[in-house]
Amino acid sequence: MTTQKYQLKEFEQEIFIPVPGTDIKLCAIVALPKALFGDHYVKNYSPPTHRLVILMHGQSGHKNYCYLKDLAEQLSEKLGIYSVRFDFRNCGGSTIIKPKTLGRTVEDDIEDLNAVYNYFMDQHFDNTAFFVEAVIGHSRGSLDMFCWGLEKKAYVPNFINCAGRFDGAGKGKNSDLQYPDWRKAEGFYEPTCQGDKYKNVWIPARETLSMISRKLTNVGDLDQYSDVLSIYGLEESVIPLKDAASFANHLAGRHTLHFIEEANHSYMGVVKIDPTIVQKHKHPIHRKKQVYNYNYMVSDKIVDYLGPKSRLDRFYKSSLKIHPGLNRWKDVEGISNFRDVGGWSTQDGNFVRPGIAFRCANPSNVTEKGIKEIQRLKIKTIFDLRSESELKEHPWPTIEGIEHLHVPLFGNRSLAPEDAIGMYSNLFTSWSTYKAVYQDILEEGSGGLRLIFEHIRDHPREAFLFHCTAGKDRTGVLSVLILLLCGVYPQIAAKEYELTMIGLKPDHPQIKEKVLSEVYKMAQSPAGEAFVKNVTKGRQNWSIYEQGFENVVSSRYEAMLETFIWLKEKYGTVEDYFKEKLGLGSEDQKIIKDSLLAY
């Protein structure tokens, strides 16, 4: 069994990652977003992000086997995600361990994965900041992944388990069948990839025993905000399929289980294909083995799972209730996108107090019933972030017992979607240009933001509501500042912002009518041709009236994460932003947090 030397692609770089405290170096390939290497509009690549996925092989494998290299390319092209796939020590191009009696234990694997994780989190790759979006492991790599997550208590939004083992005792049974004397001989020889070829490598008993001793009955202790996807072939013969059920049971409510029919442990078919009828079948064929190759299905499923629709659907379902007796989304008649910003856990074990901070969209159509609901929520102050012209067009009714504070974050300029066209025409082009808008809000709107946070400071634990016209951009930025200051994970704050993709849907027809009316006027103006050309960017089958509008009403998770990267690069931490830009020091911040946190 051999493997040829891999030829790097244009968007890939080979690096060597040191394992701290050792002489070990891990050979890794980083796949960068393809959008960094050409016109991503014309080529229909996803804009680049600062999200990172870590890919891991299993027992005796290497960084390019099964679906790994193809998945890396799909993540790069379709989601704009960086990925790093690496060889564990004693495998592939990584350091070979001597003496051979040491082998590679699960504890070693955890150390290797941690070295890779910290290498990127500490910005050792191109001095670039990343958010780790997922860790993906195949077989033994899946066991390593879960053990690492449980031991290091690192928050990762997604753990993806590809044919992983739940109960390590099964490894002992397999070894007993395949190598009956392994315990007495204190090991066995097994074909393993080292360098660019497979060779018989000594697997000491301590390595096998390190797997046998692991049973993931505590996998439910992973961070509560981590989701898990498991993918198994129905012809699996290495891992008992009851292990898949065990993961599903121990991770109930945040686990997705997917089976691939006719696929084995390596996602290959088990029935030989007659070469004369190969063309009649829709699946790729592994030419050497003459079986169907289902690895593309693994890649497709993972890309879909990490994509915007699946991500939003999962998070929305988990967001419905703060706890069993308290709904996050509020039914306020006449106002859409009305929800409680509280209830999210913080990184230090606290949580944002519910019933304090509320957000919503355009309030102009609120009914008497809706007003009574606002009063029932004990809201004392409403922060209106709209411009003077927006407020005059759609004023708030007077509500007894509630103070209405007009705090326009852009002075007299409007950021209502129908008015923002001239200022931010690129919003029609892609979600990725929203970062420029949010930078402006954080910079130019700092005076208004300061007033709001001073009010929160001076009115402890008093409920308030904030909104703009769509309840999306200005409202979204204020919401994430509240959550970040409280210590909520940035990814959770960004996903809370993305919920507006669902909350604003009732207003889409009204917004679309206004936006497209303004677009049509602009398109007919002297500058119209240049405007349309600049927005379209040479894309085929792309319409400013359809795909462009979808961008205007979007609130993509990725856009907010990119804003966080900018904030980090310019100010450092969110606390630094509050101090430097808003003039609110550590004591002010403490009082504000005490008002917003549960305890």
pLDDT tens digits, residue range 531-577?
Answer: 788 888 888 888 888 898 898 899 999 999 999 999 999 999 999 99
Residues contacting residue 318 through CB under 8 Å, at least 6 positions apart: 253, 254
| Residue closest to 354 by CA, chosen among 228, 517, 456, 463 | 463
Residue 2 pLDDT:
44
- CATH architecture, domain 12-167+218-306: 3-Layer(aba) Sandwich (3.40)
Work out the average pLDDT over 360-365.
92
**Mean pLDDT for the stretch of residues 325-346:** 96
Rounded CA-CA distance 437/525 in Å is: 24
What does pLDDT average to over the chain?
Answer: 93
Kindly list the distances between the CA atom of residue 391 and the CA atoms of 368, 385, 407, 483, in Å, as whole numbers in the listed order: 19, 9, 11, 27
* Average pLDDT of span 151-158: 96
AA letter at 518 = E
pLDDT tier for residue 218 given thresholds of 50, 70 and 90: very high
Which band of pLDDT confidence, cut at 50, 70 and 90, is reported for residue 131? very high
Pairing of strands 339-340, 357-360: antiparallel
Least confident interval from 120-124, 418-422, 499-503: 418-422
pLDDT range class, residue 516, cuts 50, 70, 90: confident
For residues 347-366, give the mean pLDDT. Answer: 95
- Average pLDDT, integer, range 46-53: 98
pLDDT for 278 beyond 60: no
**Mean per-residue pLDDT, 120-148:** 98
pLDDT for 416 equals 56
Going by pLDDT thresholds of 50, 70 and 90, the confidence category of residue 1 is: very low
pLDDT at 43: 87
Q: Which residues make up the CATH 3.90.190.10 domain(s) of the chain?
A: 323-596
Q: What would the pLDDT profile of 422-433 be if each residue is shown by its tens digit?
A: 555 767 888 888
Residue 157, preceding peptide bond in cis (omega within 30° of 0): no
Q: How many residues does the chain have?
A: 599
- 253 pLDDT above the threshold of 60: yes
Digit-coded pLDDT (tens) for 169-206: 999 999 999 999 999 999 999 999 999 899 999 999 99
H-assigned helices in 367-467: 368-376, 388-393, 434-444, 446-458
**Cα of 234 vs its chain's centroid, Å:** 28
Q: Which of 109-118, 363-372, 430-439 has the lowest mean pLDDT?
A: 430-439
The predicted structure's pLDDT at residue 275: 66
- Taking the alpha carbons at both ends of the chain, their separation in whole angstroms is 60
Contact 23, 102 (CB under 8 A): no
Cα within 13 Å of Cα(196), Cβ side: 4
Per cent of the chain over pLDDT 90 is: 79
Query: How far is residue 24 from each of residues 21, 30, 204, 383, measured CA to CA in Å?
Result: 9, 19, 19, 56
CA 72, CA 30: separation in Å to the nearest integer? 9
Q: What angle do CA 247, 249, 255 make, to 5 degrees?
A: 60
Residue percentage of the chain with pLDDT more than 70: 96
Token couple for 453: 């946070």
| Ramachandran assignment for 175, one of left (phi > 0), alpha (psi -120 to 50 degrees), beta (any other) | alpha
Model pLDDT, residue 45 = 94
- Asked if 483 contacts 492 with a C-beta cutoff of 8 angstroms, the reply is yes
Residue range 300-325, pLDDT digits in tens: 999 999 999 999 999 999 999 998 88
Domain with CATH 3.40.50.1820 in the chain: 12-167+218-306
- Judged against a pLDDT cut of 80, whether residue 530 lies above it is answered with no
Q: How far apart are CA 142 and CA 216, in angstroms?
A: 11
Q: 385-405: buried (b, 16+ CB within 10 Å) or exposed (e) per residue?
A: bbbeebbeeeebeebeebebe
For residues 417 and 71, which has the higher predicted lDDT (pLDDT)?
71
Alpha-carbon dihedral of residues 87, 91, 93, 98, nearest 10 degrees?
A: 130
Which CATH number is 323-596 given? 3.90.190.10
